Copies of this chain bind each other. A is one copy, B any other.
């Protein structure tokens, strides 16, 4: 965790933590200055870390008085987690999206680092055994089953 993108990511997440509404508004130029980097680095961080899959929505506005607004979507405790997981994962999921979901669950404090790594490793290994065209389906099954099993505790 030693690169710039990681630092910027955790800075933004800290800001989000302390923001009551789960929304923050920043200026790209200002943030770039704080980290002494090029402004487009901020876009890189947003594009790779604050994706929809990981549970964020990013809105921006150009021009004078422009801004970048980052909104964190929460799973909310109201809904039945099982059906939420079901719809979130579906019947077929890519390795990338599976990973994003696991990171999101970790961010939400629903899984710890160990469990996340465990699930990821099992997915990688088990998925290798089946024919490539079935991997998405098998991955989805495994992911749902394991996440549900772990969340039951």
Question: Which A positions have Cβ atoms within 8 angstroms of B?
Answer: 1-3, 6, 23, 25, 52, 57-59, 64-65, 67, 69, 71, 73, 91, 113-115, 117-122, 125-127, 129-131, 134, 137-138, 141-142, 144-146, 148-150, 152-153
| Prevailing SS type, chain A contact patch | helix
Copies of this chain in the oligomer: 2
| A118 and B64 contacting across the interface, CB-CB below 8 Å | no
| A6 and B65 contacting across the interface, CB-CB below 8 Å | yes
Set of chain B residues within 8 Å of A2, measured between Cβ atoms: 65, 67
The 3 closest A-B CB pairs, nearest first, are: A3-B65, A126-B141, A149-B149
In Å, the complex CA distance between A129 and B86 comes to 14
